[in-house]
Amino acid sequence: MLSLSPTLQAKLSTPLTIGTVQVNSRVLQSPLSGVTDLVFRRLVRRYAPSSMLYTEMVQASEIHHLQELPRVMEVDPQEHPISIQLFDCRPDFMAEAARKAFAQGADTIDINMGCPVNKITKKGGGSSLLRQPEIAVEIVKTVVEAVPIPVTVKTRIGWDDHEINILDFARRLEDAGAQMLTLHGRTRAQGYTGAARWEWIAKVKELLSIPVIANGDIFSVESAVRCLTETGADGVMCSRGTLGYPFLVGEIDYFLQTGQLLPQPSLAERLQCAKEHLQGLWEYKGQRGIYQSRKHMTWYVKGFPGAGELREQLSRITSVEEGYFLLDNVGAPDSPDQSGGKGRVA
């Protein structure tokens, strides 16, 4: 039977304190580029009413040069608590962007120091800051001085197996004023391959006094419980496990609050959610939203016979009507049956 120790259950069912902000959930939705827009966040929020959500990552220098704020910074007044995540390697640009993010309604400012993608690291952002701790510290200090809301950091355990410097790095970020650290238990070199090394999260948790959030390989309630038990972390952040499954954050949060498992959504419920996602992207972004929906639709249809063929068809849709037709005919004669779906992303 799935369970937490009484001590851990007691801690994880209480609010999470991030500086001056109190969040009534220990489960967070990760910022995901090209995914966690306003439409996706609304779906997650439906099932996780109290969790901290994050915008897509925003480049500070881009905000500096734009006349209008990018749409990825758009925050719905109803979706708090919400954090806007920023990245760059220039402290002054980051401070300017943070002030604009605060004006947009952000409850916290999150600094990305973990993205492994080359186009980000080549610009000195993301996980490249693990190799530039002095700049990372200066960014945190400058942003903390710029805004009256908590500043947090999301990072990795190191650049590669030869440069795992997270213990010193994390301590310096806390000393610089970071109010929470989210740690992805992989190196930059790992990308998203191999297993997340939760043992490093446990070491960081022992070292810091600010909240430490565990990230990496959280695909189910079971994996979240195992991670929290092994690391002693103050919460978990869900990333790839929510692709095509915006129910996950709420499922984990419900278990931490009550000690009980929610019934998993049926295939029909998941397909209905996919349709709402498709419709929302169309209404919010027009034809560009339809093109973006293709990847989302393929993530929703996993785990049942015939799903592969359906994914192929959904990856080419050009309209809401086309997507609805395909999703509405799942389980109809000559189409995939509805057995076996669990909504999990492998």
Single-letter amino acid, residue 254: Y
For 215, counting Cβ atoms within 10 Å of its Cβ (0-12 exposed, 13-18 middle, 19+ buried), the class is buried
* 212-215 and 235-238 strand pairing: parallel
The H or E element that residue 187 is part of is: strand 180-187
Catalytic residue among 89, 115, 227, 273: 115
**DSSP, res 181:** E
* Token pair in block for residue 68: 């209008």
Residue position matching structure tokens 């169309």: 282
Cα atoms in the 13 Å half-sphere on the side-chain side of 334: 0
Residues 107 and 54: beta-carbon distance below 8 Å: no
Judge whether 115 counts as a catalytic residue.
yes
Single-letter amino acid, residue 1: M
Single-letter amino acid, residue 296: H
The H or E element that residue 109 is part of is: strand 108-113
**Active site (catalytic) residues:** 115
